[in-house]
């Protein structure tokens, strides 16, 4: 497993980051309830397997159900071998407003303490805003509280999870250490920020590289509303070769072919998915011709690629 440095933090992380949402809550195509998930013991074993096979970067969140507790059980006695990232709980009130400083400080500090307790550690390597919108990013109190936590030593680096290119640009301007953002062959909008992030020393961690599994063998027989999406996905299969035999491998290599990307988050809840992710980073990345062809196959209507909306509408069952 190759490693890359997480921006200006100096933290070395594996190119594949283990996305912890699937082991904590029902998530993804075909996962409807806890009955479709790994048992706690199976999840712990999978985390051990990932670590032993070279994955050292593990991502979770306060809002991922049992994910933090499972990681705490798996890693409490081998903490020095891995990099842990977690995300703060949401703190806007019922009216969608950011609370006053003291209330905000208490929510963020409590969220971190809860995470440390479940993860069974006295520090996290990356503590992130969860779904940071422009209003949150513009709030100086939020940034100050995170910086103070970094000063305590309980947090090594601070970051923000964003959705839009505008949010990512703002987070880079504000000086957050790490940004987690969606980027894949279908939706390449965030690439406009990559050079700026590199200039500022901001780490880019890519999620949604497989679009909840659509850019894999699961991207077939989709809901009728996604017929054009399925037809577009089929075009990528024309780029497969003996060396890059699967769509998920192509999608992962595509994201890592951008040197500004520190790591690719892959949701993993099966040993076979772990092995596929590891295979994807073996050998070379995409050459110039392959990368150019993949870039050219961007989806023509990126605004339609709204996975949370598709999930709410039942299109991803």
**Sole residue written with tokens 């999930």:** 311
Evaluate whether residue 236 is within a structural domain.
Answer: no
Residue 14 falls within a domain, yes or no?
yes
Q: 189: domain CATH number?
A: 3.20.20.100
The pTM of the full predicted model, rounded to 2 decimals, is 0.94
d(CA 157, CA 174): 14
CB neighbourhood size of 47 (10 A): 24
Angle at which helices 271-280 and 247-256 pack, to 10 degrees? 50
Q: How many domains does the chain have?
A: 1
Instruction: Give the domain range for residue 49.
Output: 3-211+259-284
Tell me whether residue 57 is in a domain: yes
Q: Residue 123 falls within a domain, yes or no?
A: yes
Residue 189 counted as domain residue: yes
272 near 246, Cβ under 8 Å? no
Asked whether residue 304 is domain-assigned, the answer is no
pLDDT in tens, the chain (317 residues): 899 999 999 999 999 999 999 999 877 666 777 777 889 999 999 999 999 999 999 999 999 999 999 999 999 999 999 999 999 999 999 899 999 999 999 999 999 999 999 999 999 999 999 999 999 999 999 999 999 999 999 999 999 999 999 999 999 999 999 999 999 999 999 999 999 999 999 999 999 999 988 998 888 999 999 999 999 999 999 999 999 999 999 999 999 999 999 999 998 888 998 999 999 998 899 999 999 999 999 999 999 999 889 988 989 87
Tell me, yes or no, whether 219 lies in a domain: no
38, 26 contact by CB (below 8 A): no
* Residue matched to tokens 């006295």: 122
DSSP 109: H
The answer to whether residue 216 is domain-embedded is no
d(C-alpha 136, C-alpha 101), whole Å: 13
């Amino acid at each position: 497993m190759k490693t890359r440095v997480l921006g200006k933090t100096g933290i070395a992380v594996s190119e594949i980051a283990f996305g912890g949402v699937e082991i904590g809550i029902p998530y993804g195509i075909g996962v409807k309830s806890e009955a479709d998930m790994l048992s706690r013991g199976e999840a712990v074993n999978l985390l051990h397997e990932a670590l032993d096979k070279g994955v050292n970067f593990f991502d979770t969140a306060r809002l991922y159900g049992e994910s933090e507790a499972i990681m705490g059980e798996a890693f409490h006695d081998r903490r020095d071998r891995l990099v842990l990232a977690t995300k703060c709980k949401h703190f806007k009130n019922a009216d969608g407003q950011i609370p006053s400083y003291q209330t905000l400080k208490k929510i963020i500090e409590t969220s971190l303490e809860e995470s440390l307790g479940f993860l069974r550690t006295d520090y996290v390597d990356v503590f992130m805003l969860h779904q940071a919108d422009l209003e949150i990013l513009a709030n100086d109190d939020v940034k100050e509280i995170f910086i103070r936590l970094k000063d305590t030593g309980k947090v090594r680096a601070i970051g923000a999870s964003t959705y839009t290119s505008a949010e990512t640009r703002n987070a880079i301007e504000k000086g957050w250490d790490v940004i987690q953002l969606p980027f894949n062959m279908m939706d390449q909008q965030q690439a406009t920020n990559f050079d700026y992030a590199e200039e500022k020393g901001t780490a880019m961690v890519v999620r949604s590289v497989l679009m909840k599994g659509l850019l894999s063998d699961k991207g077939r027989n989709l809901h009728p509303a996604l017929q054009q999406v399925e037809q577009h996905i089929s075009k990528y299969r024309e780029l497969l070769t003996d060396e890059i035999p699967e769509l998920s491998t192509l999608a992962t290599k595509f994201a890592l072919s951008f040197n500004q990307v520190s790591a690719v988050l892959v949701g993993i809840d099966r040993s076979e998915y772990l092995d596929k992710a590891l295979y994807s980073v073996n050998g070379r990345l995409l050459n110039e011709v392959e990368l150019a062809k993949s870039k050219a196959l961007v989806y023509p209507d990126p605004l339609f690629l709204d996975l949370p909306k598709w999930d709410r509408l039942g299109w991803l069952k």
